[in-house]
Structure 1
Amino acid sequence: MNLQTLPGLFISHGSPMLALNPEQVGPALSRLSENLPTPQAIVVMSAHWESNALEVNTGIRPETWHDFRGFPEALYALRYPAPGLPELAEDILQRLADAGFAAHANSTRPHDHGVWMPLLHMYPDANIPVITISLPMNMSAEQIYHIGQSLAPLREQQILLIGSGSITHNLRELSWNTPNAAVPEWASSFRNRVVQHLSHRNYDAVLDWQQLPHVARNHPTLEHFAPLFFAMGTGDRFNIVHSSFSMGSLGMDIYRFD
């Protein structure tokens, strides 16, 4: 089998409503997958699996978890029945151990919407195995970056690595009833500074996230930004796949790392 190297991705997965109302990002995700070799498997670090210890999902057929409330019934009817791949999960556990990370197997973790919602647009048949790894919130940005580095060689086995979060994420600031609301300066300047650093391969400046402009307003908590650190570790050539905002300040960027 001639395996091709896949990129690492950072995907802003946005509101759960992206599953029903794709806006601009759904078609962008579809085009992205069409232009990539079909993955042998997909590995996702989601903003919605925060943990104390680093964990890897070793389940055979994880459930679809609707980890949100107050949305239309049609959203709760959606399923993404992608299988797991325990052999790959065990390989990931070993790679993490070799890199000095104490990681643990978790056979019962379902797929949260940070996992299945973008994949619904990329691989709607749900026939590619998906492995999820947790986001250890007691780790530094540099440590999460090194997790990405330790798994980066999997790209050469045609395995797609994804950090799923949002480039900006402050739910209290969103214009929920105005999808095309104007983008506030504090959101655009944050996003633009991050892109500037990544474009110049100044990864250290992104990992030093406390110094980014308006960081507290864009990320009152860090869980949606931290998957970017993981994605950065997977490759040192940065490209923008898609850039847009939804509901004013919710950044929907997609980045590629080769």
Structure 2
Amino acid sequence: MSRLPTLFISHGSPMLALEPGTTGPVLTRIGQQLPKPKAVLVISAHWLTQQPTLTSGTSPKTIHDFGGFPRALYALQYPAPGSPALAEQVQALLQKVGLDARLDAERGLDHGAWVPLRYLYPEANVPVVQLSLNPSVPPKLQFALGQLLRGLSEEGVLILASGSFTHNLGELHWDSPEELPQAGDPYVDQFRDWVIDKIETHDIDALNDYRRLAPHARRAHPTDEHLLPLFVALGAADNTEVRRLHKDVALGTLAMDIFAFGSGGDVLAENGNLS
């Protein structure tokens, strides 16, 4: 199998599972255009641990880790199989560099994993392993973590980093999203444009220091766990090739950008409306 790209996906609100908007069709197209992976390794902003941990069960449950949403959302299931073998392989990779990774056979898939996967692989026929995210590890070391995982993409494993390009829940416009321009609040685009520029010029040093250098960084990310998966995806890519697959804003302040990094992304159609 040819090498797969690494993906960063902004998963938005859990309601994406019921309301695909513009993001759902893009995810479906990605799943159709990429060669079918032998497994998916997900790093989500919604499983935070200090010790690296991997789901290792054969049938990970669907976790509904949210509250106050319609009953139909809690009825959704994503019954993808797990891959204990992949979990053990990643554990070994991390242990080689002194990271005491552990396996958890009981942990399931949170909505940062199963919501986008419902569109990527709706038949739930690709094994999935989730790797927890340590929110106290800075971007530079998240990038280094991605580098440790780089070889998996050559073996047919899709590395899926799931977070949000901006994530200020205190400023969401729940009441009248239809009245908002597609660009959302101006600070969202200012922050996003800065980050995209650094990604496309491969200015990793500036990206690692984004909370000090990027405009409106702390407003865009009061806490940075939803952007940290981006650095894992960048580190796991084998070269500096970047494909911007989607640009939108949900609820005024959630930038829904999707990227593919590294070799293997040439089969993916880029979004033509990114200006």
Name the counterpart of 1:13: 11
What is the CA–CA distance in structure 1 between the aligned matches of 2:260 and 2:204, rounded to whole Å? 14
Q: CA offsets per residue over residues 67-98 of structure 1, 9 Å max, x none?
A: 01111111011000111100111000111122
Name the counterpart of 1:193: 194
Q: If the length of structure 1 is used for normalisation, what is the TM-score? A: 0.97
What is the CA–CA distance in structure 2 between the aligned matches of 1:27 and 1:37, rounded to whole Å? 17
What is the CA–CA distance in structure 2 between the aligned matches of 1:142 and 1:18, rounded to whole Å? 30
What is the CA–CA distance in structure 2 between the aligned matches of 1:96 and 1:238, rounded to whole Å? 26
- 1:20-59 to structure 2, matched below 5 A, reads 20-59=18-57
Name the counterpart of 1:66: 64
Name the counterpart of 1:240: 244
What is the CA–CA distance in structure 2 between the aligned matches of 1:167 and 1:133, rounded to whole Å? 20
SS state of the match for residue 131, structure 1? strand
- 1:86-165 to structure 2, matched below 5 A, reads 86-165=84-163
Name the counterpart of 1:229: 231
What is the CA–CA distance in structure 1 between the aligned matches of 2:195 and 2:72, rounded to whole Å? 35
1:60 shift after superposition: 1.2
What is the CA–CA distance in structure 2 between the aligned matches of 1:61 and 1:131, rounded to whole Å? 10
Q: CA offsets per residue over residues 173-192 of structure 1, 9 Å max, x none?
A: 11112334131111110011
- 1:169-184 to structure 2, matched below 5 A, reads 169-180=167-178, 181-182=180-181, 183-184=184-185
* Aligned AA (1:201): H
1:138 shift after superposition: 2.2
- Checking the alignment, whether the CA contact within 8 Å between 1:57 and 1:107 is kept in structure 2 is yes
What is the CA–CA distance in structure 2 between the aligned matches of 1:102 and 1:209, rounded to whole Å? 28
What is the CA–CA distance in structure 2 between the aligned matches of 1:221 and 1:175, rounded to whole Å? 19
SS state of the match for residue 146, structure 2? helix
SS state of the match for residue 256, structure 1? strand
Q: How many residues align?
A: 256
Which structure 1 segments of 5+ residues have no match?
none
Name the counterpart of 1:214: 216
Superposed CA RMSD: 1.0
What is the CA–CA distance in structure 1 between the aligned matches of 2:136 and 2:92, rounded to whole Å? 21
* Aligned AA (1:84): G
SS state of the match for residue 87, structure 2? helix
Structure 1 residue runs of 4 or more that deviate by more than 3 Å after TM superposition: none
Q: If the length of structure 2 is used for normalisation, what is the TM-score? A: 0.91
1:144 shift after superposition: 1.1
Which structure 2 segments of 5+ residues have no match?
263-275
% same residue = 44
1:38 shift after superposition: 0.3
SS state of the match for residue 10, structure 1? strand
